[in-house]
Chain A
Amino acid sequence: MNRRVVIKHMALAVTGLVLLPGCDLGSKKAAAQEMQPFLSPDQEGLLAQVVDTIIPATDTPGAKELNVHLFVQKMVTDCYEKEAQENLVNGLDALEAKAKKAHDKAFDACSAEERIALLRAMEQSGDTGEQEFYKLVKGLTVRGYMNSEYVMMNLTHYEAVPGHYYGCVPVDSKTLS
């Protein structure tokens, strides 16, 4: 399939996912309230840059294009304790500050290499909060990316049915993932 078309379809699918209603009206409403972003637009933009630094576009879309930053925010909002939200906000601010300090420019404006180095600095920071931030965002980015429709359908060949089980196949014949 033409890549542009794939991406368009994929973007639609992901948008649909974010707006996916819950089981009933009540939870839909709740979900909408929950999605009141706790990140400011700037922080959300920065998070998008971070996920795209972790998994960038190559010959296939990167994490930002797959809206993985929205998934990260959704997960941190709903599935983690309040501290994780604070940790995400603080981590983003710290990252931006590090960029300013090291390169005198926004994280957004840094080169891919510089951005990776800034994230590595978070990983190896003596500050537990920064380490936690790195672990949280990286873990959720990998999860959101690997479980995205685009990756599962096009890159890892997810197939729900017909299923099968072969208990003993030679390793050579098996396509992994």
Chain B
Amino acid sequence: MANIAGDAAKNRTYDAIVIGSGISGGWAAKELTGHGLKTLVLERGKDVKHIKDYPTTSKNPWEFEHRGQLPVEVKKQNPIVSKCYAFYEGTEHFFVKDAEHPYVQEKPFDWIRGYQVGGKSLLWARQTQRWSDFDFEGPARDGFAVDWPIRYADIAPWYSYVEKFAGISGNRDGVPQLPDGEFLPPHEMNCVESFFQKQVASKYKDRQVIMGRAAHITAPQPIHLEQGRAKCQHRTICERGCPFGGYFSSNASTIPWAARTGLMTLRPDSVVHSIIYDEQKGKATGVRVIDANTKEEMEFYANIIFVNAAALNTNLILLNSTSSRFPNGFGNDNGLMGKYVAFHNYKARISAEYDGHLDSTTDGRRPNSPYIPRFRNVYKQETDFLRGYAAGFSANRRSVTNQDGLGADLKQSLLNPSLGGWSVGSHMMGETIPKETNYVALDKSLKDPYGMPQLKISVVYDENDEKMTKDYLEQMTEMFTHAGFTNIQATNTDRAPGLDIHEMGGVRMGKDPKTSLLNKWNQLHACSNVFVTDGASMTSTSTQNPSLTYMALTARAADHAVQELKKRNI
């Protein structure tokens, strides 16, 4: 370790350090700088500046030499990330390549990562639903995991806070298990989706089909214009980075907002090795970093540290932060760190056709689709599996050409497509139960290119997931049949965990330091100046998408950190 003397150490001292610049790290940066804290944001990947570093954002389809498809060599070299729906010629630069960042699959797990400023916030599917007390009270009611230390009322104002800034579109649907938020105008449902909505409502009083709530600016408010963001243009190529800032990303929103304060130092290419613990002071004093380019090891210091490296990497960093006080990982007195990892069950999907509404069609593109909130086991346990699932749903009308011909006939038919019938489809998003046996740990012998231990992932679907998958397929088949859809194809894809990209837990929140790692303010029980506010902190996983909850928890924790700092409690 380099001996950093006097001035040099001072130059590396900040009020706060944020590890990671994705969805939650960006919010930590914005909130902490907003409260006047000189903040260092560490990002292990390269810098990605809004607009400037979106190399494919304005490319037309014909400007991709393979029209979007990836060369066979790229696919062969990247069998894991190639499974991700968003990995293609226009986005490959924003995804981690398999060989560059190895990990150990004790059980098959497709770990999808985006190492750059903005992280996966550039790549996400932008669905933003609030969690409800059916989620926060779930573990206490159903007896799995541990009780959440917070309830919906604790986080509701913070949902409002982040929604207004991020820009969330949606309807106020009045669904108890899916609380309404501060919405911009919703995207439009098409005629067959509305038809299905009515069909479902007529048969089931407890099931709703609603328009998805998504982080798209459908009607810019002053706060969005002030961020330099504009209305969503419906290009539906969001994952290449949006030059309009039409969807929420750290790059377009929180990071530049933090930068504007003049208080943020952003340091890309900084692989965090560990958090430094000072035994005399009884708190964390800084972060040890490996420069990704020079491999040089260096230290940065701060009063508070936010760990937002994305769920599994947050586990990795904390487990790798050992000292005589914390021989098993930072704050890991109970040995539970890395355990109770859970995720979302995306195993099943269903598709069908519909030959009604043939006098109508859609026009244009929509970066969103309808959503079916959880309807299983909401008020009482009514199935033989715990918890439930939400579902995506969409309908679209196909354009059909007869491609049998050759020559002028073929050309004629290609340029004059006819309208086919409607296609409908849905996929499930199930809650999985956090279990001690689903864990991540450090591999004792294998290192990554930065000398960090490789993460060993041991996460599997269980019987509860299988029962839930079966129920989803049965219930959706019943709902599709009731609506008059035909040629119903119900599929259990049997895919491995990971591709859902909703991994959560390992550093869970809870009331009791014996059974959890973080308190109700996302502070480590064992070290109050270290906060974890990304997916690692989730006690259970809900059926809703998690990103909005990470944003709200982060803003709330940052506010608490600043109050505590002022009171000199940390």
Interface residues of A, Cβ cutoff 8 Å to B:
13, 17-18, 20, 23, 31, 53-56, 58, 62, 71, 74-75, 78-81, 112, 116, 119-120, 138, 142-149, 151-152, 155-156, 158, 160-171, 174, 176-177
Contacts and interface: CB of A to CB of B under 8 A. Distances in A.
Given A62-B411, A165-B363, 18 more contacts: A17-B65, A55-B410, A55-B414, A78-B66, A80-B72, A138-B403, A149-B60, A156-B415, A161-B235, A163-B233, A164-B363, A165-B187, A165-B362, A167-B189, A170-B359, A174-B419, A176-B416, A177-B415
Contacts of A165: 187-188, 234, 362-366
A162 B358 CA distance: 27
B71 interface: yes
A99 to B, nearest CB: 16
A31 B65 CA distance: 10
Q: From DSSP, what is the main secondary structure of chain B's interface residues?
A: loop
A176 B60 contact: no
Contacts, number: 136
A161 B234 CA distance: 8
Contact of A166 (B65, B72, B235, B363): B363
A33 to B, nearest CB: 12
Contacts of B406: 53-54, 116, 119-120, 138
A161 B243 CA distance: 12
Given A163-B233, A164-B234, A177-B399, A17 B62 contact: yes
Contacts of A120: 406
Contacts of B187: 165
B67 A143 contact: yes
A20 B59 CA distance: 12
Contacts of B358: 171
A32 B38 CA distance: 48
B190 interface: yes
Nearest to A82: B72
Interface residues of B, number: 48
Contacts of B361: 169, 171, 174
A174 B191 CA distance: 15
Given A54-B410, A177-B417, A149 B62 contact: yes
B143 interface: no
A146 B407 contact: no
A152 B61 contact: yes
A162 B362 CA distance: 16
A149 B191 CA distance: 32
B55 interface: yes
A55 B411 contact: yes
Nearest to B415: A155
A168 B233 contact: no
Interface in B182-213: 187-191, 193-194
A176 to B, nearest CB: 5
A79 B61 CA distance: 17
Contacts of A112: 407
Contacts of B365: 163, 165
